[in-house]
A and B are shown apart, each in its own frame.
Chain A
Amino acid sequence: MNNNWLKENTFHHSEFKEIDRLVEEKIRKNLTIALCLPTLNEEKTIAKEIIIIKSELVTRYPLVDEIVVIDSGSTDNTRKIAREYGAGVYKATDILPGLETFKGKGENLWKALYITKSDIIAYLDADIKNIHHRFVYGLVAPLILSNNIKFCKAFYDRPISTGKNKIRPTGGGRVTELVIRPMLSLFFPELTQIMQPLSGEYAGYREIFEKIPFPIGYGIETSMILDIYEKWGLDVMAQVDLDRRVHRNQDTKALGKMSFVIMMTFLKRIEKLGIIKINKSMLNEMIQYNLVHNNYKADVFKIEGIERPPIIEIPEYRKKFNIS
């Protein structure tokens, strides 16, 4: 196991606070950078993310060239607000309309590859309450400054907002510690060095993202790490400590569904890699129970586990980017 990775490829955002240096290097290398915010009903946080990034990393330091919001069909004012504050706003269903439509974060990230033009794409969840431009420059800095690193993942000390405007000082990462870390320990111990493999913020080169499949839902973070690891190895990856991230808390049932999808993605991946053989086809329903009027009622969550192929295989994409 390569234990040096943790030491050599782990950064703290404060190492990159001289943003003008990043801009210089970006220009020298002739790179462009896009920020993608996948959304579904994020009207409370989307404006702040756009404003902070535009103010600090477009106007003050020209580090980011594109800001796009890819929306899964919000029923609140997410798209209107995002447009108002100057982001490029797209409904996921309007992108590549000739393809079958799916709904999910992974779908939005995949379609962002088609919509954006830049060499580097940074993905941020749109529910970050304490957004700061370090979330972007911290993620893209290792990609700009290093010649080897092609993918960079965030990790945090994450307090959870518990409602009623009170903040609990520690917590979060339950699915990481109870699901993905045990799985990685069993099959890919090197990858346990990634502190928060499920964090929703990462950046990478288009040349990496366009060559891997994207599950349409929660499994995207899991599959992405496994696929990049398998294709290019650990050394193209880095992680950056972005300090604190305040986000919405999710209840245990929601985390249960998330865990279901992550386990499904993980098991499919390791079977495909020939690491294990599952002698029974996996079911696609997560069953949880609610007590309704003194009766237990099943709450069935169906997940198809659909994946988009590497986008480089899509003719429209190849045409847009002149790939023969």
Chain B
Amino acid sequence: METYLDKLPLFIDTIKSMSETIIANIVFIGQEPAPTFKEQKRANLFMERLAEAGVDECSTDGYRNPIGIIRGTSKTKPPVFVVAHLDTLLDTDVDYNFTIKENFIQGAGILDNSVSVGVLASLPEIFRKLNLRFESDIVLSGPIQSMGKGNLRGIRHLVKTWATPIRGAVCVEGSELGRLNYYSYGMNRGEINCDIPDSGKWENRFRPNAILILNEVINQILQLSMPQRPRSSIIFGKISGGFKHGIIAYDAKLGFEIQSDSDKMVKKIYTDINDIVDGISHENGIDLKIQTISNLKASKLNYNHPLVKSSVAIMKKLGLQPISDPSESELSIFLSKNIPAVTIGITNGKNYHLENAKMAIDPMFKGIAQLVGIIMAIDSGVCDE
């Protein structure tokens, strides 16, 4: 490990010398809109860029996840996966054309997750330039249908149907550089919909207000006791409803997420919320429904797992201070299958989910060196317990 750790700081300048290739890939891929469920064009582009970089095996799996395989030198070592989800949060009607200045790139979806996909597409050429060959096959993939209602379907399919064992995985996110995720909370992401039918008659003015109904739901959820152990929380992340200022709202929607490091606790809290919804629905004679959008099981690597320890060492060698939080992403799918995996960030930025998201160019080169280091660590056997 020492040998490649020492090389890492030197990698940064070599990677920086390829900035045009890397930025070009980020721009080509990122400027192709890819909202969840509409990723096909970006998937094709990703494979085109890999093919352009000399990757012979570029194809899609049965779920249309784009994949490129860089063949390793060993016929027996399982593959290392490097994944960056392909989909973006914003829809196709926004301008995806990026602006590049001296120090940053700005544009819709750049941080989540176009920069990462562009970096993945550049890896074959980066490996060549760094003169790196691996024992394992390196599987580069941009899973589709990851975010929101996509519910990680792409990565679930990819991992579930992969024919061989997987040696380890790195999940790549745009920001922030320094993040090191190696555990996922159990999670249930849901929506509560309140629809009050319009009778079309004068008594309409006395019907319940959907916003006030949801307000009552929120109040009752807030009265649920949240244990410190297992650590659990409910996040209210989205709310919408109503038509105009002077009219009683006849529809409203609340998006929430239950997080806990215990799957049982996630289930219990969900049941409690379901009971609240049923009760309010019954008492007010209205149509109040709860539905699950996506869910994940809690999974983790221990801090002393060799992959985590190596990742920490790599980051520190590059002058990065690792910050660990739970991550509900591709990571949890790998971990739930007992495949050692971490999620890292590539660069720094701001306006993460806005149309004017902005990524810093210079830190990205260190972020890529970190990614290369972790791939080298996995290839050297840190996941082979």
- Give A residues with C-beta under 8 Å from B: 43-45, 47-48, 51-52, 54-56, 59-60, 77, 80-81, 84-86, 129-130, 132, 161, 165-167, 246
Known contacts A59-B20, A60-B21, A60-B52; decide if A51 and B100 are in contact (CB<8 Å): yes
- Closest A residue, CB atoms, query B20: A55
Are the CB atoms of A51 and B20 closer together than 8 Å?
yes
The 6 closest A-B pairs by CB, nearest first: A55-B24, A47-B100, A165-B95, A55-B20, A129-B97, A48-B100
With a CB–CB cut-off of 8 A, which chain B residues contact A52? 24, 27-28
Q: How far is the CB of A129 from chain B (nearest CB, A)?
A: 4
- Closest A residue, CB atoms, query B100: A47
Known contacts A47-B100, A77-B102; decide if A55 and B23 are in contact (CB<8 Å): yes
Cα of A44 to Cα of B102 in the assembled complex, Å: 10
- Give B residues with C-beta under 8 Å from A: 19-21, 23-24, 27-28, 31, 52, 93-95, 97-102, 108, 355
The one of B27, B31, B52, B108 that contacts A165, using a Cβ cutoff of 8 Å = B108
Are the CB atoms of B97 and A54 closer together than 8 Å?
no
- Closest A residue, CB atoms, query B361: A47
Cα of A84 to Cα of B20 in the assembled complex, Å: 12
Residue contacts A-B, CB under 8 angstroms, 19 given: A43-B101, A44-B99, A45-B99, A47-B101, A47-B102, A51-B24, A52-B28, A55-B20, A56-B24, A60-B21, A60-B52, A81-B102, A85-B20, A129-B95, A130-B31, A132-B28, A161-B97, A166-B93, A166-B95
Are the CB atoms of B355 and A48 closer together than 8 Å?
no
With a CB–CB cut-off of 8 A, which chain A residues contact B98? 48
Cα of A167 to Cα of B52 in the assembled complex, Å: 29
Q: How far is the CB of A227 from chain B (nearest CB, A)?
A: 34
By CB atoms of chain A within 10 A, which of B52, B94, B101 has the most? B101
- 19 new A-B contacts, CB < 8 A, other than A48-B98, A55-B21, are A43-B101, A47-B100, A47-B102, A51-B20, A52-B28, A60-B21, A81-B101, A81-B102, A84-B102, A85-B20, A86-B20, A129-B95, A132-B28, A165-B95, A165-B355, A166-B93, A166-B94, A167-B93, A246-B97
Cα of A47 to Cα of B23 in the assembled complex, Å: 10
With a CB–CB cut-off of 8 A, which chain B residues contact A48? 27, 98-100
Q: Chain B at the A interface: mostly helix, strand, loop or mixed?
A: mixed
- Closest B residue, CB atoms, query A84: B102
By CB atoms of chain A within 10 A, which of B19, B20, B23 has the most? B20
With a CB–CB cut-off of 8 A, which chain A residues contact B93? 166-167
Are the CB atoms of A51 and B23 closer together than 8 Å?
yes
Q: How far is the CB of B335 from chain A (nearest CB, A)?
A: 36
With a CB–CB cut-off of 8 A, which chain B residues contact A166? 93-95
Are the CB atoms of A54 and B101 closer together than 8 Å?
no
Are the CB atoms of A59 and B27 closer together than 8 Å?
no
Q: How far is the CB of A225 from chain B (nearest CB, A)?
A: 29
Cα of A81 to Cα of B355 in the assembled complex, Å: 23
Cα of A43 to Cα of B21 in the assembled complex, Å: 20
Cα of A167 to Cα of B100 in the assembled complex, Å: 19
Cα of A20 to Cα of B308 in the assembled complex, Å: 44
Q: How far is the CB of A47 from chain B (nearest CB, A)?
A: 4
- Closest A residue, CB atoms, query B103: A84
Cα of A44 to Cα of B99 in the assembled complex, Å: 6
Q: How far is the CB of A164 from chain B (nearest CB, A)?
A: 8
With a CB–CB cut-off of 8 A, which chain B residues contact A45? 99
- Closest B residue, CB atoms, query A131: B27
- Closest B residue, CB atoms, query A162: B95
Q: How far is the CB of A139 from chain B (nearest CB, A)?
A: 19
Cα of A54 to Cα of B17 in the assembled complex, Å: 13
Cα of A129 to Cα of B108 in the assembled complex, Å: 14
Cα of A48 to Cα of B361 in the assembled complex, Å: 13
With a CB–CB cut-off of 8 A, which chain A residues contact B21? 55, 59-60
Cα of A129 to Cα of B97 in the assembled complex, Å: 6
- Closest B residue, CB atoms, query A83: B102
The one of B95, B100, B108 that contacts A161, using a Cβ cutoff of 8 Å = B95
Cα of A45 to Cα of B107 in the assembled complex, Å: 12
- Closest A residue, CB atoms, query B31: A130
Known contacts A60-B52, A80-B102, A84-B102; decide if A165 and B24 are in contact (CB<8 Å): no
Cα of A54 to Cα of B18 in the assembled complex, Å: 11
With a CB–CB cut-off of 8 A, which chain A residues contact B355? 165
Q: How far is the CB of B104 from chain A (nearest CB, A)?
A: 10
- Closest A residue, CB atoms, query B52: A60
By CB atoms of chain B within 10 A, which of A60, A84, A86 has the most? A60
Are the CB atoms of A51 and B27 closer together than 8 Å?
yes
With a CB–CB cut-off of 8 A, which chain A residues contact B19? 51
Q: How far is the CB of A81 from chain B (nearest CB, A)?
A: 6
- Closest A residue, CB atoms, query B90: A165
With a CB–CB cut-off of 8 A, which chain A residues contact B101? 43, 47, 77, 81
With a CB–CB cut-off of 8 A, which chain B residues contact A80? 102
Q: How far is the CB of B123 from chain A (nearest CB, A)?
A: 15
Cα of A81 to Cα of B99 in the assembled complex, Å: 12
Q: How far is the CB of B109 from chain A (nearest CB, A)?
A: 12
Cα of A85 to Cα of B23 in the assembled complex, Å: 11
Q: How far is the CB of A158 from chain B (nearest CB, A)?
A: 14
With a CB–CB cut-off of 8 A, which chain B residues contact A165? 94-95, 108, 355
Cα of A208 to Cα of B199 in the assembled complex, Å: 76
With a CB–CB cut-off of 8 A, which chain B residues contact A43? 101
Q: How far is the CB of A20 from chain B (nearest CB, A)?
A: 11
With a CB–CB cut-off of 8 A, which chain B residues contact A129? 95, 97
Q: How far is the CB of B188 from chain A (nearest CB, A)?
A: 34
Cα of A86 to Cα of B21 in the assembled complex, Å: 13
With a CB–CB cut-off of 8 A, which chain A residues contact B31? 130
With a CB–CB cut-off of 8 A, which chain A residues contact B20? 51, 54-55, 59, 85-86
Cα of A85 to Cα of B27 in the assembled complex, Å: 15
- Closest A residue, CB atoms, query B125: A60
- Closest A residue, CB atoms, query B23: A51
With a CB–CB cut-off of 8 A, which chain B residues contact A84? 102
With a CB–CB cut-off of 8 A, which chain A residues contact B95? 129, 161, 165-167
With a CB–CB cut-off of 8 A, which chain B residues contact A55? 20-21, 23-24
With a CB–CB cut-off of 8 A, which chain B residues contact A246? 97
With a CB–CB cut-off of 8 A, which chain B residues contact A56? 24
